[in-house]
């Protein structure tokens, strides 16, 4: 069933992807041009039809190209519906006009941007991504909106430093002494390795074009002037994914805690070397609750996206499955295991995301400036200096605080004073002043309010130029005008279909039933077997799954992090509440899950201690709207004593589910699609059951490294579906019938004439 929003989406998608082949707007056919098609009073030429055909001939079925004669029927049906919508005045409503305005604004963005420049910047970025650059810098700060005198002073200071470096001064020493980058004291200006998109564009450009070892001239950015020295370049090492075991420790930890963390990570590393399974090591040792539930896996990252110590450890590994010696970071100790390394993708694959990035990162400024220059050349602009001088006098230091207001005693009537004109259309000072008042925001105190005010003006002028271009885009671009015509027709077509077909087919239950009774043979129910199917890599796994599924809720191969308590304590600590949040998150994400909460106590604690711990955990989960019916409580008291004394005072978590899908998901967590569990009805054509005999009972088949088990409880003979069973199919078929009725009515209302002579021409 095709609903309105999806229908419009498809129209837009089709239009956007076909921008390369513009369709001219339907023109009034001259007396010398014989129309191919006449619908009512409207006429369509051979060119109108062929342009539409070339764009949409495969729209109904991507595997089949429609013949021109086949498409002519679709073309005619569409024009009939659009004509009916216009006849009913649907193209004059406020709702319609607002929709078209919205679509215009969306589509105009693609026509206003310099696509050639976007492509050039994207390709440049891709070529830069192939390399990693190591560079150092010295920052001489100056506000982005600083007064010219302050900007010049900062520039001269940067030049003076460049002179000293040219005379042989050590770059690291100078960075530590003079750079205002806070990190320079420690790193002596060294930024390490980075690649495209990880610094501002002007800085990046110097880093990729400056010879190694040479100090750049002062380079301006938002923060000030930079002196940049490239120290190395190397091939991009690509993307990497790792898993880690982490023992959390930071600067606030005590010496004892730090020593304990080091001892623990070394113990984990020793056990891994002795053969301990990685996942068991993660479960036993890691304190990173986020990654722990996924075997310690972290998202894939590239250069400059992870702390240096982990980054170096990850890239030093060459074989997936191997792990590095423990490394210490600002967050704690880590053992890093390599999961996957991936090289840089082809430009074809990366191009869409690169185009998006160049528009949104600091390169966007380049695009904005290019657009502003183009618009200033394209349109006739006249500025009025006398008015500007009067307006500029209103600027004051309150612009720096974002509290500026132009309202003050003055004889000027700003609503009558033209500030500038575009193609002879005047723009008044009052509009600009109100806009500044609306968009102003606090600026650095070191900025110049005069510079800020002038920038507001330049941006306002550019904005009005852009609005002017957008408003006249249909006249300036035949391609854009053609797209808007298609959008208009698409919206009208959607409204007619919604009113006469889609909504009616859903709401008319009497009509649905009547259609079903008259066409029952269209809705057959084939012979079906009712039962359960399990497909796995081996029979042992199948037996384990069968055992799990013997009784609901089903026990999952998934546990939560244990909570350990001090002797005689049952209250939840802040850390335990943080860890409990993970249990809540799992339950929230999986509505069919249940959780078994098991409580334990040591022999020396009171008998009620384990129950009290359970009670506090349940209370927390209830407060997060996890219903009591989804919680299974088990109090083991001092039974099942652990070899590890601390674990005798614990709360443990075991997940269950009422859904076989969750059991399947748990088995597939390591290897996707390793297990398939299906239950319900199967037809003979089901590819999962074709190798089984069509009979009741249990069957087991092994072939091609797979084991399949099927239990059939009953076989139902073929029959016709009931109305309830067939309702979805009935609605779809009823829609087709309603559309036929609509078109029959429209053909009578608007006579259709096809010029057979012209039709024969296009069929050749």
Using the predicted structure, report yes or no on whether residue 631 has a pLDDT greater than 90: yes
What gap in Å lies between CA 441 and CA 400, rounded to an integer?
8
Q: How confident is the model at residue 59 (pLDDT cuts 50, 70, 90)?
A: low
Comparing 761 with 620, which gets the higher pLDDT? Answer: 620
Residue 47 and residue 30 in contact, taking contact as beta carbons nearer than 8 Å? no
**CA distances from residue 243 to 246, 300, 485, 561 in whole angstroms, order as listed:** 10, 10, 54, 18
Using the predicted structure, report yes or no on whether residue 3 has a pLDDT greater than 60: no
What gap in Å lies between CA 709 and CA 677, rounded to an integer?
10
Rounded to an integer, the average pLDDT of 204-232 is 96
Select from 325, 452, 457 the least CA-distant residue to 384. Answer: 457
Q: Which residues pair with 752 in a beta bridge?
A: 39
Using the predicted structure, report yes or no on whether residue 28 has a pLDDT greater than 50: no
What gap in Å lies between CA 47 and CA 187, rounded to an integer?
68
CB-side neighbour CA atoms (13 Å) of 587 = 26
pLDDT tens, residue by residue, 665-695: 888 887 888 999 999 999 999 999 999 999 9
Residue 669 and residue 602 in contact, taking contact as beta carbons nearer than 8 Å? no
Tokens for 519? 């066409």
Using the predicted structure, report yes or no on whether residue 628 has a pLDDT greater than 80: yes
What gap in Å lies between CA 171 and CA 191, rounded to an integer?
13
pLDDT tens, residue by residue, 353-396: 999 999 989 999 999 999 999 999 999 999 999 999 999 999 99
Using the predicted structure, report yes or no on whether residue 6 has a pLDDT greater than 80: no
pLDDT tens, residue by residue, 591-601: 999 999 999 99
**CA distances from residue 320 to 219, 240, 315 in whole angstroms, order as listed:** 42, 10, 11
3-state secondary structure of 134: strand
Using the predicted structure, report yes or no on whether residue 471 has a pLDDT greater than 80: yes
Comparing 293 with 93, which gets the higher pLDDT? Answer: 93
Rounded to an integer, the average pLDDT of 96-111 is 89
What gap in Å lies between CA 336 and CA 298, rounded to an integer?
10
Cβ neighbors of 371 (< 8 A, separation 6 or more) are 112, 113, 114, 462, 466
Structural domains of the chain, ranges and CATH numbers in brackets: 1-87+478-522+727-764 (no CATH), 131-235 (3.10.50.40), 239-342 (3.10.50.40), 379-473 (no CATH), 553-657 (3.30.1330.60)
Q: How confident is the model at residue 61 (pLDDT cuts 50, 70, 90)?
A: low
Select from 290, 306, 186, 157 the least CA-distant residue to 241. Answer: 306
Rounded to an integer, the average pLDDT of 223-243 is 95
Rounded to an integer, the average pLDDT of 251-259 is 88
Using the predicted structure, report yes or no on whether residue 4 has a pLDDT greater than 50: no
What gap in Å lies between CA 604 and CA 610, rounded to an integer?
12
Which residue's entry shows tokens 């939560």? Answer: 560
β-pairing verdict for 593-600 and 631-637: parallel
Using the predicted structure, report yes or no on whether residue 55 has a pLDDT greater than 80: yes
Element (DSSP H or E) covering residue 138 = strand 131-141
What gap in Å lies between CA 626 and CA 644, rounded to an integer?
31
Cβ neighbors of 313 (< 8 A, separation 6 or more) are 324, 327, 334, 336
Select from 339, 337, 340 the least CA-distant residue to 273. Answer: 337
Give the pLDDT score at 25.
Answer: 41
**CA distances from residue 225 to 140, 150, 197, 212, 285 in whole angstroms, order as listed:** 5, 12, 19, 20, 48
Residue 476 and residue 468 in contact, taking contact as beta carbons nearer than 8 Å? no
What gap in Å lies between CA 635 and CA 569, rounded to an integer?
16
CB-side neighbour CA atoms (13 Å) of 383 = 10
3-state percent helix, strand, coil for the chain, nearest multiple of 5? 50, 20, 30
Using the predicted structure, report yes or no on whether residue 616 has a pLDDT greater than 50: yes
Residue 229 and residue 171 in contact, taking contact as beta carbons nearer than 8 Å? yes
Give the pLDDT score at 5.
Answer: 42
Using the predicted structure, report yes or no on whether residue 17 has a pLDDT greater than 50: no
Using the predicted structure, report yes or no on whether residue 761 has a pLDDT greater than 90: no
- Residue 234: phi, psi to the nearest 5? -150, 165
pLDDT tens, residue by residue, 502-532: 999 999 999 999 999 999 999 999 999 999 9
What gap in Å lies between CA 113 and CA 358, rounded to an integer?
12
Instruction: Return the ∠ at Cα 527 (arms to 525 and 533), rounded to 5°.
Output: 110
Q: How confident is the model at residue 13 (pLDDT cuts 50, 70, 90)?
A: very low
* Average pLDDT value over all residues in the chain: 91
Comparing 522 with 5, which gets the higher pLDDT? Answer: 522
First to last CA, the chain: 36
Give the pLDDT score at 12.
Answer: 47
Tokens for 290? 């986020």
Residue 293 and residue 590 in contact, taking contact as beta carbons nearer than 8 Å? no
Residue 189 and residue 231 in contact, taking contact as beta carbons nearer than 8 Å? no
Select from 301, 305, 279 the least CA-distant residue to 292. Answer: 279
What gap in Å lies between CA 369 and CA 378, rounded to an integer?
14
Instruction: Return the ∠ at Cα 128 (arms to 124 and 133), rounded to 5°.
Output: 150
pLDDT tens, residue by residue, 144-197: 999 999 999 999 999 999 999 999 999 999 999 999 999 999 999 999 999 999
pLDDT tens, residue by residue, 581-590: 999 999 999 9
Give the pLDDT score at 161.
Answer: 96
DSSP labels, 171-185: HHHHHHHH---TTHH
Using the predicted structure, report yes or no on whether residue 70 has a pLDDT greater than 70: yes
Residue 204 and residue 150 in contact, taking contact as beta carbons nearer than 8 Å? no
Give the pLDDT score at 60.
Answer: 60
Sign of CA dihedral 158, 160, 165, 170: negative
What gap in Å lies between CA 146 and CA 447, rounded to an integer?
4
Give the pLDDT score at 29.
Answer: 45
Give the pLDDT score at 226.
Answer: 97
């Amino acid at each position: 069933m095709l609903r309105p929003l999806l229908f419009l989406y498809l129209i837009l998608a089709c239009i956007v992807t076909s921008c390369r082949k513009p369709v001219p707007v339907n023109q009034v056919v001259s007396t010398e041009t014989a129309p191919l098609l006449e619908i009512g009073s409207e006429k369509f030429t051979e060119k109108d039809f062929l342009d539409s055909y070339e764009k949409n001939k495969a729209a109904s079925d991507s595997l089949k190209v429609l013949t021109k004669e086949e498409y002519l029927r679709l073309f005619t049906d569409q024009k009939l519906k659009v004509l009916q919508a216009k006849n009913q005045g649907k193209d004059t409503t406020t709702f319609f006009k607002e929709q078209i305005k919205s679509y215009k604004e969306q589509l105009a963005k693609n026509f206003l941007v310099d696509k050639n420049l976007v492509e050039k910047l994207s390709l440049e970025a891709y070529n830069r991504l192939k390399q990693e650059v190591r560079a150092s810098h010295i920052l001489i700060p100056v506000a982005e909106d600083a007064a010219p005198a302050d900007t010049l002073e900062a520039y001269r200071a940067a030049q003076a430093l460049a002179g000293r470096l040219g005379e042989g001064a050590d770059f690291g020493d100078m960075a530590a002494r003079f750079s205002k980058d806070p990190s320079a004291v420690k790193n002596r200006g060294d930024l390490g390795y980075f690649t495209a998109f990880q610094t501002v564009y002007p800085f990046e450009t110097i880093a990729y074009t400056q010879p190694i070892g040479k100090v750049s001239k002062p380079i301006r950015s938002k923060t000030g002037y930079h002196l940049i020295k490239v120290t190395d370049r190397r091939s991009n090492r690509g993307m990497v994914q790792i898993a880690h075991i982490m023992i959390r420790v930071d600067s606030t930890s005590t010496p004892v805690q730090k020593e304990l963390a080091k001892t623990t990570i070394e113990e984990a590393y020793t056990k891994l070397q002795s053969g301990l399974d990685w996942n068991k090591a993660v479960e036993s040792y890691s304190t990173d609750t986020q990654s722990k539930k996924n075997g310690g896996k972290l998202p894939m990252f590239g250069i400059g996206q992870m702390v240096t110590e982990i980054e170096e450890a990850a890239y030093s590994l060459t074989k997936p499955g191997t792990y590095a010696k423990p490394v210490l970071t600002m967050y704690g100790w880590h053992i890093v295991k390599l999961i996957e390394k991936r090289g840089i993708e082809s430009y074809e694959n990366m191009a869409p995301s690169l185009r998006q990035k160049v528009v949104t990162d600091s390169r966007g400024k380049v695009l904005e400036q290019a657009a502003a220059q183009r618009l200033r050349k394209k349109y006739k602009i006249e500025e009025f200096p006398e008015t500007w001088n009067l307006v500029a006098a209103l600027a004051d230091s309150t612009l720096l605080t974002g509290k500026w207001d132009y309202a003050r005693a003055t004889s000027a009537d700003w609503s009558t004073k033209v500030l500038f004109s575009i193609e002879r259309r005047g723009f008044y000072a009052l509009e600009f002043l109100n806009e500044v008042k609306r968009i102003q925001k606090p600026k650095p105190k070191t900025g110049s309010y005069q510079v800020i005010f002038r920038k507001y003006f330049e941006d306002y002028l550019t904005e009005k130029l852009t609005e002017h271009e957008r408003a006249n885009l249909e006249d300036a671009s035949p391609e854009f005008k053609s797209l808007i015509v298609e959008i208009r027709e698409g919206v009208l077509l959607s409204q007619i279909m919604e009113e006469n077909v889609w909504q009616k087919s859903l709401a008319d239950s009497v009509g649905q039933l009547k259609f079903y009774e008259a066409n029952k043979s269209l809705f057959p129910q084939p012979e079906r077997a009712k039962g359960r199917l399990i497909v796995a890599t081996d029979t042992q796994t199948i037996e384990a799954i069968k055992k799990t599924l013997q009784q609901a809720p089903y026990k999952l191969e998934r546990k939560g992090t244990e909570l350990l308590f001090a002797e005689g304590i049952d209250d939840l600590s802040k850390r335990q509440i943080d860890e409990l949040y993970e249990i809540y998150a799992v339950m929230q994400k999986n509505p069919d899950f249940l959780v078994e909460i098991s409580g334990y106590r040591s022999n020396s604690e009171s008998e009620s201690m384990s129950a009290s711990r359970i009670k506090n955990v349940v209370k927390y989960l209830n407060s997060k709207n996890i219903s009591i019916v989804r919680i299974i409580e088990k109090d083991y008291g001092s039974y099942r004593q652990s070899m590890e004394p601390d674990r005798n005072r614990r709360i443990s978590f075991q997940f269950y589910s009422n859904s076989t899908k969750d059991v399947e998901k748990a088995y597939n967590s390591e290897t996707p699609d390793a297990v398939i569990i299906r239950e319900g009805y199967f037809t003979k054509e089901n590819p999962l059951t074709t190798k089984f005999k069509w009979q009741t009972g249990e069957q087991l088949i092994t072939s091609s490294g797979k084991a399949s088990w099927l239990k059939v409880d009953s076989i139902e003979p073929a029959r016709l579906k009931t109305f309830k069973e067939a309702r979805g199919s009935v609605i779809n078929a009823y829609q087709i019938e309603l559309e036929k009725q609509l078109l029959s009515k429209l053909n009578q209302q608007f006579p259709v004439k096809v010029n057979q002579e012209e039709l024969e021409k296009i069929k050749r």
